[in-house]
Structure 1
Amino acid sequence: MATLADSLVSSSARRLALRKRPDLSAERQRYQGTIYWVVKEPVGLNYFRFHEEEYFILCQLDGNTSFDEIKRRFEKEFPPEKIRLEELQQFVGTLHRSGLVIADVPDQGPRLLKRRRERRRQEIIGALSNVLAFRFKGIDPERILNFLEPCFRWVFTRWAFTLWLMLALSAVSLILVQFDVFQSKLPTFYDFFTVKNAIWLAVVMGITKVIHEFGHGLSCKHYGGECHEMGVMLLVLTPCLYCNVSDSWMLPNKWHRVAIGAAGMYVEVFLASVATFLWWFSDSTTMFNQLCLSTMFVCSVSTVLLNGNPLLRYDGYYILSDVLEIPNLRQKASAILTRKLGEWCLGLEPPDDPFLPQRNQLMFAAYSIASVIYRWMVLFSILWFLNKMFEPYGLKAVGQVIAASAMYGLVVHPFVKLWQYFRVPGRLAQVKKLRLFVSACVVVTVVTGVLMLPLPYHVICTLEIKPREAHQVYVNVPGTLDEVFVESGQTVTPDEQLARLSDFELQRSVVELEGQEAVYNERIRTTEKHSHDDPDYRSKIGELQEELHTTREMLSQRRKNLSDLTLRAPVAGVVIPPPYQSEQPDDDGRLTGWYGTPLESRNRGATLAQRTLFCQIGDPTKWKAELVIDQADITFVEPGQRVEIMLEELPGEVLESTVSDVGSREIQYSSRSLSAKAGGDLATRTDPTGGERPLSASFPAMAPLDDSDGLLRPGLRGTGKIHAGTMTVGRRLYRAALRTFHFSL
């Protein structure tokens, strides 16, 4: 209870009922030649960096010292520096809000509870704005890491690093030296990102990220740090592990901190290198080969685009921060950019901030801009990837929900920060109106100019190669393929035999009908002989003749079917094989029917169903690309536009053509080979008849091709790029927004 004597003493001379928490630990470190103290708060695993002067003030808080006494001690310890009581009180308040001091006063519980709820609310908002990387706290892995560290200590030795470097360079050299072979071995997008492989891809990502995080944890233990938090993280909807190695900030050697930050990539590059060799030299049809490719993809892409890139707040960012000896690099770069924009655009005088880098501030501002742009690029790439994954299975709406959630962090949050910036009391009054007007005019002019800038527009579509002006030879009557008299590329004349099929049941039916015809003929002759003597026989003659007529019609049809079992050339020309048919396993995994083309000798004895395309007769130098145009782009496609055609089986080759015809009727059924289910790029659904219908309304277009080198064959699929004039940036963004947040334009 305060006494009368206490009330007569100024507030700054009274005992300050705040004391430093006894469980805090601190390490003295040097950043860019300046001494700092890194303080660890062990309960929340929070870390703070203080100048020597700030740390001195923290240490003076023992629950008995007044503000005046702390001020006197400070000025005695750090002459000729001076500190005002207002500054001291503000700093002590910051320490209290950070949870580094204990207040020996009543009614602290409600305040602490309110602070905790506010912090929890901010964490939830931050998590919801980053749905592609959602964390769930887990266990304290200290005991696990203490057990594993002696077993893997050798991994962080110099000779192990040398072997790692040689292995990585060997893997890269293998790909670069034989890059054409590397491209040909890679599957297409839809071949790789099938539902089945997506599951294995998620498993591989989860396992590699677990190993990645253990690399961080073990390296932290190896260099003397601690790790008290390991949990589950949903990374691009894939469950994996995360390991909190923030304790590395307590290490005085910055290269040890760099090694801890790079340990995860160190492990992933090793896995990617080993997987590269195993994938290269293993059978491409095996699951093992697919898993190796998935491992190589996950480890290399995540290292190059995400973890190793300092523009994102992952391993590369912390490595750069430690190398430059600038903690909180992004926040400081953003603060510098904000101050520069405020000075240039609003005329605001930036206050002195000793915590910000004083040199190369333009570079830090450029870093902040580059990091924002790159975050947008990565986010849109991930959203595009998820959209491509979900679209073939009718789950595009799921990708749109994720996109809408992810947009918060990049669109809404910056506007919230801008609003908070101008809410600072007195800031609007300091704004120079002329500079604000000029800046607004410049921004509007630049944005308008960019939005109105016309850029070349290309329509990207899937396509299939087909013969041009060729006659198709179909199997009209199903049967067993007995003989093939021609081969691919052979010149034939009209009505020349191409192949002969057989059907035992059809032959037996013809013999039976011929027998029935003979029986009816004999019965009619016998009946006519007796009709002169018996009137009853005369009435039966009409019935027998009607039955004979029916039998002869059936026999004529059967004989025609029997004749149709012999396939003949409808016109003169060259035999062109039909599209290649892949092996089709049944439910038990056994191969059924035939595969390849009916012209191949291995398919002798196979049963060909009705409407099976046996071959085509035409000119082997005349082909066409049948383009499948989405309804959103069909209005931009016109005859005469240039088309660049890239085929999967001719990597590196670009074929030139022009659009000759654009169809006005929607495609009802697409080629099975173009379907995403068969490795193509077209999202389709299978209807009850077994046909493949495009999920999105699509229209056909044709582009003629001449092939004097004999490179083309029916059924080749690829991608076409139609040069469809120009489109402004604004219209592109408008269309992209519509296609992202609506099902159709």
Structure 2
Amino acid sequence: MATLAESLLASAERRLPIRKRADLEARRHRYLGKTYWIVKDPVALNYFRFEEEEFAILQMLDGNTSLAEIKRRFEAAFPPQKITLDELQQFLGQLHRSGLVVSDAPGQAIQLQKRRKERRRKQLIATLGNVLAIRFKGVDPEPFLNWLYPKVRWLFSPWFLGLCVFMWVAAITLILVEFDVFTSRLPGFYQFFGPSNWLWLAATLAFMKILHEIGHGLTAKHFGGECHDIGVMLLVLTPCLYCNVSDSWMLPNKWHRAAIGAAGIFVEVTIAAIATFIWWFTEPSLLHYLALNAMFIGSVSTVLFNGNPLLRYDGYYVLADLVEIPNLRQKAGQFLNQKLAQWLLGLEPPEDPFMPKRRKIFFITYALAAVVYRWVILFSILMFLYRVFEPYGLKIIGQAIVVLAIYGLLFQPVYSIWRFFYVPGRWYQVKKPRMIASIIGVVVLLLFVCFVPLPYRVIAALELQPDEADTVYVSVAGILQEIYVKPGDEVRAGQPIVKLCNPDLEIEISRLQHQCRRAEIALEYLTQFERYADPTANLRMEQLEKTLEALRQQLEAKMSELPRLTLCASRAGTILPPPWQPVRPSPTGQLPSWSGIPLDKENLGCFLEQGTKVCLVGDPRRFKAVLVIPQSEIEFVAVGQKVQIKLDGLPDRTFVGTLGEISAQAMEVSPERLATRRGGDVPTRVDRTGVERPVTPSYQAAVHLVDDEGILQIGLRGRAKIHVAPQSLGYRLWRWVARTFNFTL
């Protein structure tokens, strides 16, 4: 009776009904001084990297050679290496699962169907795990690129590329030299990301991404590559294009591959540079704001996403080409997992010829940085979307995206751990003392996160206001005729500040005086001549007396308004300017009557409405920072806590104070300059009366400041950092989740 080994040996001598696909394409490359073969599947557009020994085995698969013959030929071609029949069978299984070989054995249709279902399942899981970048099936752009490339070949000339780089440098220089003016002209967060700009921002993003992907495709054509897949994707909920230039792996020159990967970045940065000059030299208009959109997308997205090698976008593939390590992130992650398994569980890493043998610190650092940065970017995007949707009652959309994104981040690690221990015999390889020590370490870390309080700070928006100053209001509307003081002047109580004139009031007084005189004459006539002759004279006299009394009261009221056209100081002190009024056209399209502050000489002759703040009278050294604290944080805030203040107009200075009084009632009206629609940080909504009201309940608090240097100004905005009682990291995380999903705290 034949033994198992004899049966295996006998079967190894039989013809192997497996052959290499005839349509596969292969190129010989060198990575880090070692020869590899890149194999392309032209149907599925998949690419594989093989060592010379593995590629030799693939070449031996002709449908007639036996396993034993392949073993003998391999060992003869690559002495002194040896290979077992089991290793050969495992490698052939990998080739079959990858679709690089075909088999004449029966039942292949069922295997292909299973492979297709498995591929679709993985694609679905990958889509659910990355809801911020969803790809749809595309088309083959080769005919279009073959038609377009000859017409735009000049774009790859040295003079044009040099001109683009010159524009980059010029745009950056302009921003650095005029940085203060540049930042002052930028809109606020809610103004830029408000609903009025959503459509234009999406259109700009789509347009730039189309040029971005065409840049990839044309660069691939320029260096002899191909592009067979271009389609639509949703990038942060915005439709745009993607371009698959994986065919660049077939190019032997790593600099050409890197250039293809960097082409999209080059296009976006060039567009952003051109848009910078358009935005700088144009007045507010549609073109002006579209240029700003292009600046934002081409610069911020390049730094945070496309050009960053920690995310699997263009910058990552450029780095992978330059360091000559395909699948850099996968290899780095696998290397880190093996090291963690070795350190925490005592498992020895398996031999893998494709794993890095050098620069191990680089791979560990890269893997950790990529994981951390991916979490940071994801949560930043989620908070950005949540903040954009919140003021418009669309929080449910942000919450749904948060759930799907967190699922994508947590599912893969949990699934990998489960699959790791699911391997038969893996549990028995674990060194129990090492595992117990690791578990204790994790428990200690969790206890630290959940129970050890760490310094905690509450962030609040603020506006500077004068402390204990009297505001001089316009009580009777009029035309600014004379200005007697300027900001910084010392005044005494009752001293005139400005004088207004109101022609309408003067005309009304003249009309009332004339009517009173007519009524007096009529009453005098009735008294002297018709009182006894006309029986109705007494009744008419009574009516005239009532009319005259009403006219005199109206005249007295109007006359009392004349002195109020001269505004005087209510106390002794220093003239302080009110908040600066920008040039803002009215909703009807009319030009504003004044701008700046009413005490500016340029505003002489302007019309001041009733209630306009002309100035303040008080101590110029005493200010009050009015903080707006969300209801979710008010429980941590108490009088006497330390407060650090950063002002937008003085970014290099930090002011320190103590929290004074805290309002017991939630504010009903948001400070105008802190409202999101005015560029502030407090989310607001406009009610039917046109008043800005906070979206979420908020409370006001005050920090008293003394300005001995004379650098503070009324109306400056900023942020305050309130040092409250310490809180554990776990409690903070729970509060964030509870607030996001409206749990009751």
Instruction: Tell me, yes or no, if structure 1 residue 571 matches structure 2 residue 597.
Output: no
**Change in 2 beyond 3 A, CA 1:298/1:536:** closer
1:347 matches 2:337: no
In structure 2, the residue matched to 1:380 is 379
Map 1:417-436; keep pairs closer than 5 Å.
Answer: 417-436=416-435
Equivalent runs, 1:178-189 vs 2, <5 Å: 183-184=183-184, 186-189=186-189
Match of 1:49 in 2: 49
Letter in 1 for 2:386: N
Partners of 2:570 and 2:365 in 1: CA distance? 70
Instruction: Measure, in 1, the Cα distance between the counterparts of 2:454 and 2:371.
Output: 23
Other-structure match for 1:71: 71
Q: CA deviation at 1:169?
A: 4.5
Q: What is the identity percentage for the equivalent residue pairs of Structure 1 and Structure 2? A: 51
Q: Deviations over 1:48-91 (max 9, x none)?
A: 11222322232233333333333333333334433332222222
Residue type matched to 2:438 in 1?
S
In structure 1, what is the Cα distance between the partners aligned to 2:283 and 2:443? 55
Q: 1:185 to 1:514 in 2, by over 3 A?
A: closer
Q: 1:503 to 1:24 in 2, by over 3 A?
A: same
Question: Letter of the aligned partner of 1:226 in structure 2?
Answer: E
CA distance in 2, matches of 1:640, 1:500: 44
Mean Cα displacement is larger for which, 52-61 or 410-419? 52-61
Check if 1:358 corresponds to 2:357. Answer: yes
Change (3 A) 1:284 1:737: farther
What's the counterpart of residue 462 of structure 2? 463
Matches within 5 A, 1:92-241: 92-156=92-156, 165=165, 167-173=167-173, 175-176=175-176, 183-184=183-184, 186-241=186-241
Structure 1 residues 284 and 732: CA distance shift in structure 2, 3 A: farther
SS in 1 for 2:617: strand
**SS of the residue aligned with 1:149?**
helix
Is the contact between residue 188 and residue 676 of structure 2 (CA under 8 Å) also seen in structure 1? Answer: no
Say whether 1:336 aligns with 2:316. Answer: no
CA distance in 1, matches of 2:623, 2:8: 102
Answer with 416-425 or 582-591: which moved more: 582-591
Q: 1:650 to 1:347 in 2, by over 3 A?
A: closer
2:3: which partner in 1? none
Equivalenced residue count is 738
Equivalent residue of 1:37, what SS?
A: strand
Give the residue type in structure 1 aligned to 2:84.
R
Report the residue type matching 1:655 in the other structure: F
Measure the CA separation in 1 of the matches of 2:608 and 2:171: 47
Equivalent residues of 2:456, 2:726 under 8 A apart: yes
Question: What is the CA–CA distance in structure 2 between the aligned matches of 1:601 and 1:172, rounded to whole Å?
Answer: 38
Residue aligned with 2:138, SS: strand
1:661 shift after superposition: 1.6
Partner of 2:690: 690
**Cα distance in structure 2, aligned partners of 1:359 and 1:294:** 44
Q: Residue 731 of structure 1 aligns with which residue?
A: 731
Query: In structure 2, do the counterparts of structure 1 residues 474 and 143 end up closer, same or farther at CA, with 3 Å as the change threshold?
Result: same
In structure 2, what residue type is equivalent to 1:252? P
C-alpha separation between the residues in 2 aligned to 1:605 and 1:499? 12
Flag the 1:549–1:292 CA change in 2: closer, same or farther, 3 A.
closer
CA distance in 2, matches of 1:245, 1:214: 11
Alignment CA distance shift 1:612-1:186 (3 Å):
closer
Question: 1:401: which partner in 2?
Answer: 400
Letter in 1 for 2:307: G
Pairing of 1:657-696 with structure 2 (within 5 A): 657-696=657-696
**1:303 alignment partner in structure 2:** 302
Deviation (angstroms), 1:435: 1.8
1:553 matched to 2:579: no
Alignment deviations for residues 422-479 of structure 1 (CA, whole Å, 9 cap, x no partner): 1111212322222221110011112322444544333222222222222222223334
Within a 5 Å distance, the mapping from 1:28-43 to structure 2 comes to 28-43=28-43
Matched, 1:323 2:322: yes
Kindly state the Cα deviation for residue 21 of structure 1 after the two structures are TM-superposed: 1.8
Q: Output the amino acid matched with 1:496.
A: Q
Q: CA RMSD in A?
A: 3.1
Shift of 1:226: 0.9
Do the aligned partners of 1:392 and 1:676 also contact (CA within 8 Å) in 2?
no
Cα 1:439–1:613, aligned 2, differ >3 Å: closer, same or farther?
Answer: same
Distance 1:589 1:743 in 2: 45
Shift of 1:369: 1.8
| Aligned-partner Cα distance in 1 for 2:204–2:326 | 33
SS in 1 for 2:35: strand
* Residue 45 of structure 1: how far off its partner (Å): 0.5
CA distance in 1, matches of 2:531, 2:163: 108
State the SS of the aligned residue for 1:139.
coil
Deviations 1:244-266, CA, capped at 9 Å, x for gaps: 11111111222222222222223
Offset, 1:699: 0.9
Q: What TM-score do you get using the length of structure 1 for normalisation?
A: 0.90
Q: CA deviation at 1:494?
A: 3.1
* CA-to-aligned-CA distance 1:108-137 (integer Å, 9 cap, x gap): 334322321221121122112111111123
Shift of 1:17: 2.9
When structure 1 is superposed on structure 2, of 184-193 and 730-739 the one drifting more is: 184-193
Structure 1 gap segments, 5+ residues each: 1-6
C-alpha distance after superposition, 1:633-675 (max 9, x if no partner)? 2222333333333333334343333322211111111122221
Where does residue 4 of structure 1 map in the other structure? Answer: none
Match of 1:495 in 2: 494
1:626 corresponding residue in structure 2: 626
Q: Deviations over 1:299-346 (max 9, x none)?
A: 232333222322221222222322332222222222222222222222
Summarize the Cα distance change of 1:190–1:82 in structure 2 as closer, same or farther, 3 Å threshold: same
Distance 1:278 1:452, change over 3 A: farther
Q: What is the deviation of 1:626?
A: 1.4
Q: Cα offset for 1:41? A: 0.8
Task: Show the counterpart of 1:3.
Answer: none
Distance 2:378 2:552 in 1: 73
- Structure 1 550/590 Cα, relative in aligned 2: closer, same or farther at 3 Å? closer
Is the alpha carbon distance of 1:622 and 1:102 closer, same or farther for their aligned partners in structure 2, counting shifts above 3 Å? same
Bigger drift between 630-639 and 118-127 goes to 630-639
Secondary structure of 1:82 counterpart: coil
- Give the Cα–Cα distance (whole angstroms) in 2 for the partners of residues 8 and 425 of structure 1: 24
Q: What CA deviation, in whole Å up to 9, does each residue of 1:230-252 have, x standing for no partner?
A: 11222222222211111111112
Conserved in 1, the CA contact under 8 Å of 2:469 and 2:619? yes
For residue 234 of structure 2, give the secondary structure of its aligned residue in structure 1.
strand
Consecutive unaligned residues of structure 2, counting only runs of 5 or more, are: 1-6
State which drifts further: 125-134 or 504-513.
504-513
SS class of match (2:550): helix
What residue is the counterpart of 2:4 in the other structure? none
CA–CA distance in 1 between the matches of 2:498 and 2:198? 44
Contact residue 684 and residue 693 of structure 2 kept, 8 A: yes
Question: For 1:81, what is the secondary structure of its paired residue?
Answer: coil
Cα contact 2:578–2:615 (8 A) shared by 1 = yes
More deviation in 463-472 or 571-580?
571-580
- Once the two structures are superposed, residues 331-378 of structure 1 have per-residue CA deviations (whole angstroms, 9 ceiling, x without a partner) of 222222222222222222333222212334344233222211111111
Determine the C-alpha separation between the residues in 1 that align with 2:730 and 2:434. Answer: 27
Q: Give CA-to-partner distance per residue, 1:215-241, whole Å, 9 cap, x none.
A: 222222222211111112222222222
1:584 pairs with 2:584: yes
Greater mean deviation of Cα atoms: 644-653 or 371-380: 644-653
Three-state SS of the structure 2 residue aligned to 1:261 is helix
Contact 1:95 1:101 in 2 (8 A): yes
What amino acid sits opposite 1:367 in the alignment?
Answer: Y
Distance in 2 separating the partners of 1:474 and 1:177: 40
Whole-Å separation in 2 of the counterparts to 1:193 and 1:612: 31
Aligned pair in 2 of structure 1 residues 267, 635: CA closer, same or farther (>3 Å)?
same
CA–CA distance in structure 2, aligned partners of residues 286 and 539 of structure 1: 68
